[in-house]
Amino acid sequence: MIRNDKKGAEQFTLSFPKNGYRNISVSDKYTDSFCNWTMYKIAQYLEGNNTNIQFIHIAKNDLQDLNAYLESL
């Protein structure tokens, strides 16, 4: 996630396979949508707590892949 707060970290690392999982790919782009802003703020709040962060936007037809991924954790 890329910085959306001038005083915050430039980015936070997400805990998700870099090459994605099945049909779920990792995007190298970011947006300033409400969802992304909210996740940045959550990551900012949790900073220093040694918490793994995952943030996933997927299509409805990829829900089975998401379930398989979550079950593999």
pLDDT digits (tens, 9 = 90+) for 1-24: 555 567 788 888 888 888 889 988
* pLDDT above 80 (res 31): no
Closest CA to 32 of 55, 9, 2, 53: 2
Domain count, the chain: 1
Print the domain residue range for 57. 1-73
- List helix spans (H) across the chain: 34-46, 63-72
pTM comes to 0.70
